[in-house]
Structure 1
Amino acid sequence: MTVTYVIDGAEVTGLERFWQVIGEAVNGPGGYFGRNLDAFADCLSGGMGTPDDGDFVIEWRDHASSARALGHEETARHVRRLLGRAHPTNRPALQRNLDEALAGHGPTLFDQLVEIIEERTAPGTLRLR
């Protein structure tokens, strides 16, 4: 039986709120389903609340609202935080990512989250509504 997890895109006002919304969608109130992109990818691989057989759907309702909230401005804010803790060898690449986001170019956090879901789950798992 396919399990459906619903993300209410109108509730996603930024990346921190996305972590809360997806955590609660999968694991109930106060639930965890990643707090950074790598952890989110790991959670999608199983064992963190989704069925072991991988038979689930993520229905992202009002995804356009989330796309705006997780757009270039939020992406730049996120990359700035990463820059502050990054290893010196990673800083040039992060600075390029920041410059792109500030210019309104390149992938947004929304794009990255969609890509992670599509890479880590079966085709058709993500349903953007």
Structure 2
Amino acid sequence: MSLCIMIVEDEMLLAMDLEDILTGVGHTVAGQASDMSQAVAIAERVGDHIDVAIMDVNLARGSNGVETAAVLRQRWGIPSLFVSGNLDERTRALALEWKPIGFVGKPYSEREVLAALAKVGAETI
């Protein structure tokens, strides 16, 4: 099942790596954002088509990934997959309120990210 995915990651090389992984298995990338305002702008354009956002916790310009995930979930119903090196208990607890599809720590493997995304594909069938 092909998904439409937004990447919200402030480290350009990691965002590009994620895009390569996703497109390599047939998913579509709706866009890359490095902060909340860019993520919201992408969602305003194509939010109805986005199945999931891959979300870092610490974003550019002081943005917070949990807050960004909340906005995407509330306004467009977009769930997040948190892929971050900052997944302590407090952050996970805050993020759980927005019903993420999961958490993957950095450094991540392609297999971990794709396995977490497979849950979204299975739910939409």
TM class by smaller structure = 0.3 to 0.5
Higher RCO (CA < 8 A, seq sep 6+) = 1
Instruction: Output the TM-score relative to the length of structure 2.
Output: 0.37
